[in-house]
Structure 1
């Protein structure tokens, strides 16, 4: 299965060279290779994936191991992310005002629906899950915060894109890697435009088996005080237990009510 594309580094036109520290960029390039290569990695693999020479990769990996942001795999197969990275994830979540406000309403929504409830945040071409409240049946990947999905093929992404201008939406579609994740992923521009039009008309977006086969997900956008999309409330369920229309009727009002309560 294809993975969500990692966020790109800024171009040299986007940064002030007097302030930009290239050593920091290189350190994060090393850490980010694990986003696409999800297994223990040798120095040679890290060097190739990060664009560093082997000597530079060796020094960077040694430094990151000393700081706890990388570790050696217990079976000696290479480097893996270190436990200190979890501290930074915790810092982000506990200091994010929307995540703080959303936790109790999302727990209430989870109790009401008895299905999985998520909160995702918009990051350019992607959404990133910040809160995940599980149902009785889940895959391992669906339990993890920090998971990144392409906005174009996710219900939360489309719900948020629907709040943008047509030009901004077309820019996202143009820059997205629109490879299908399943046979049902909508990737053609006319189809995607129709999904955005539907989300604007209904106030929510629906994705049917576009990321996982057998899964139906509905989402409504959370907006800031200026009406800009910043997050989405998702409700996800199994097609073995729900048909599309009953799921829409039951879950859409609940998702939209929760998103309205968190907006502004």
Structure 2
């Protein structure tokens, strides 16, 4: 049932996610692992369909706005962003720290809404960024409420790569952490995804009682100590999560 040519077409599109510049045929072939002749055919087809545009001078390619139109048709995510945006914006204005909205995508979290800090930060992510769920505060919130199969996939040893010296990669310890996260209603990560980044997250719950997203606040160490972050920011992020949840239910 698997159509290999469709997989290759998406592989070609995927190489453009990691760059802000235009790419030529040779670069696309090298980055996608597809032969140059086949890559040329995929580029031509995607351009003809309107998903890529070509610079007539340099002959390089870039993603077209048609992909944004396609993503805009994903109603659940759009509704979530629409409901969450004013809540996160107001909280960001009050606390002046970075606030994010994320969803679970396989074994990763994807950032779908972001309000950066008014201060200098240690990590500057963008909307669309994907990170491993097991070592991020929002990822742990989402895994704590996910189906068993999703949790096992995320905690498979092949997925557990140490990103910093603080990253917990022991599956047994991570399972205990997820149990604790579910009990306490929030998660806390101290520099496990990025050095200098402290993150606290809480769940967003829809009208059916399902956890559909997570909100998190990220602050830099050592401007924030662990004790200060837990004391001052846990109530903030819980309040933000409840605000988004209430907006979804309205």
- Bin the TM-score by the shorter chain: 0.7 to 0.9
Aligned counterpart in structure 1 of residue 194 of structure 2, from 201, 209, 212: 212
SS at the partner of 1:34?
Answer: coil
Question: Of residues 154, 164, 171 in structure 1, which corresponds to 2:153?
Answer: 171
The residue number in structure 2 matching 1:195 is 177
In the alignment, structure 1 residue 106 sits paired with structure 2 residue 105: no
Aligned mates of 2:111, 2:158 — CA distance in 1: 18
User: Offset of 1:250 from its aligned partner?
Assistant: 1.2
Q: What is the deviation of 1:134?
A: 1.0
Deviations 1:142-197 (A, max 9, x none): 2x211111111110010111123556523331276211222222112133123213
User: Which residue is 1:117 aligned to?
Assistant: 99
1:239 lines up with 2:221 in the alignment: yes
Is 2:19 the partner of 1:33?
no
1:148 and 2:140 matched? no
1:135 partnered with 2:117: yes
Alignment correspondent of 1:186: 168
Find out whether 1:262 has 2:247 as its counterpart: no
Shift of 1:219: 0.4
* More displaced stretch, 80-89 vs 198-207: 80-89
- Rounded to whole Å, the distance in 1 between the matches of 2:77 and 2:105 is 17
How far apart, CA to CA, are the structure 1 residues paired with 2:59 and 2:124?
A: 23
Q: State the number of aligned residues.
A: 245
Query: 2:223 and 2:106 mapped to 1: Cα distance?
Result: 33
Structure 2: which 5+ residue stretches go unaligned?
Answer: none
List per-residue Cα deviations over 1:89-121 (Å, max 9, x = no partner). Answer: 455489721111111111121122210111001
Q: Judge which range, 54-63 or 239-248, deviates more.
A: 54-63
Secondary structure in 2 aligned to 1:252? helix
Q: 1:167 to 1:28 in 2, by over 3 A?
A: closer
The superposition leaves residues 63-112 of structure 1 with CA deviations (integer Å, 9 ceiling, x where unpaired) of: 32345533457995954434443444455489721111111111121122
The reply to whether residue 162 of structure 1 matches residue 144 of structure 2 is yes
* Contact 2:122–2:220 (CA under 8 A) maintained in structure 1: no
Alpha-carbon separation, structure 2, partners of 1:172 and 1:95: 22
State the TM-score, normalizing by the size of structure 2: 0.82
Matches within 5 A, 1:216-227: 216-227=198-209
Which deviates further from its counterpart, 63-72 or 249-258?
Answer: 63-72
Q: CA separation in 2, counterparts of 1:63 and 1:141?
A: 35
Using the TM superposition, name which of 29-38 and 86-95 deviates more. 86-95
